[in-house]
Homo-oligomer: A and B are copies of this chain.
Amino acid sequence: MYSTTIDIRVRYGETDQMGYLYYGNYALYYEVGRTDAIRQLGFTYRELEEQGVIMPVAELQVKYLRPAYYDDVITVKTILKSLPDNHKIQFHSELYNQKGELLNVGVTTLAFIDAKNRTRMHMPEVMRQKLAAFF
């Protein structure tokens, strides 16, 4: 298993008139978590793109357990439970508030795509090598 955490403070513009973090904005938080999980491996998603790999999202599942509020510091835990064995990778996200309460869980499945011809590809070797140590 590979797991990282990063803190994000809820912005005013991310709330809605209900006073909650808007349900669509959690996707941004998961993205920040995934990006940081990759960075902590020693390379970046930005570099992957520069090398011609893009990772569009194929599936998203979210459970909203408790609302997140403006100015809350949300801890985003990003978990990779298994090494991908095909052209997809699945990240689990758990969001906690400052009291340690679980607010939200998400599962994001991304595809590895060759940016040039937009066809499926396997996980880049650099990523597999870095991740292998954790599994």
Q: Which residues of B contact A2 (CB under 8 A)?
A: none
CB–CB A57/B64 < 8 A: yes
Mark A43-72 against chain B: 1 for CB-CB distance below 8 A, else 0. Answer: 011100100001011111111100100110
Q: Which residues of B contact A44 (CB under 8 A)?
A: 71
Q: Which residues of B contact A16 (CB under 8 A)?
A: 12-13, 15-17
With A17-B16, A45-B71 as known contacts, state yes or no: A11 contacts B23, CB within 8 Å.
no
CB–CB A46/B27 < 8 A: no
Q: Which residues of A contact B (CB under 8 A)?
A: 9, 11-20, 22-28, 31-32, 35, 44-46, 49, 54, 56-64, 67, 70-71
